[in-house]
Structure 1
């Protein structure tokens, strides 16, 4: 769909964006899906991490389980992983490469609301470290997690069904917090 500026406006697919209270079932849902993906990809899956807001206890989130899957080669993954992941009910979304270069992106669930996302990339990709350090920082810094929750709820209300506006609205907080997380990790390593 084209927005007022003639650019594509990505819709959420399930009506308005909803940020739900934390659900203690999210880690179990991740663990179940992790097992399914590991079984499908075997040793080609080097690591499978729970990322995103559902990976932070107590943090409100869109109820979508994000899985970060590390593979030794993204090019080889394009040949080896798409079909086995699609057999699990996922849809590969290659057009997301312009938004998230260096990874394969999949989503699962009824056509909106999605229930799961898979982000498949090489662990050497800079985004891998950024996603995990951000998650760890929010897990260990409740004030930052609360601030993020407030931003997410405000953006969900103002963005309606424009998921691109929702994501973009979080960028400054995510970038600043990731920088703080890296500094915090470096300081902790020096002690």
Structure 2
């Protein structure tokens, strides 16, 4: 993940990243993100997500990552979900992504709740 002051800054990265083997992939469903992929879908070796630094989207990515790092049951559940969706939708990235959406949102909400409630006593 990379942070920028404005998503328009990522436009200047398209050509240099293409020279490194990355493809810019535009997703209408994610207007607050720019995405670059290196390698073929499903076999891609690198994904670069670009968000406005310290935006809510930026913070949610970190919340999700940090929550899974601390909660092994949810991390395992997410791994299983991704494998199941990959088998179910091997050539349908939209359905694969949509299939993860409710899980990701739920984890982010759990992480936000923990932030609001503060550290356990």
Q: Against the structure 1 CA distance between its residues 110 and 166, is the aligned structure 2 distance closer, same or farther, given a 3 Å change threshold? A: closer
Q: Deviations over 1:132-174 (max 9, x none)?
A: 1001000001111122122222222222321211111111111
Could you list the structure 1 runs, at least 4 aligned residues long, displaced by more than 4 angstroms after superposition.
none
RMSD between aligned residues: 2.0
Between Structure 1 and Structure 2, the one with more helix by share is 2
Query: Which residues of structure 2 form unaligned runs of 5+?
Result: none
Structure 1 residue 93, shift from structure 2 partner: 1.9
Greater relative CO, 1 or 2 (CA 8 Å, sep 6+)? 1
Q: Aligned partners of 1:105, 1:179: CA distance in 2, in Å?
A: 24
5 Å matches for 1:5-84? 68-78=1-11, 80-84=12-16
Counterpart among 135, 152, 162 of residue 65 in structure 2:
135
Query: Which residues of structure 1 form unaligned runs of 5+?
Result: 1-67
Residue 75 of structure 1: SS of its match in structure 2? Answer: helix
Q: Does 1:91 align with 2:23?
A: yes
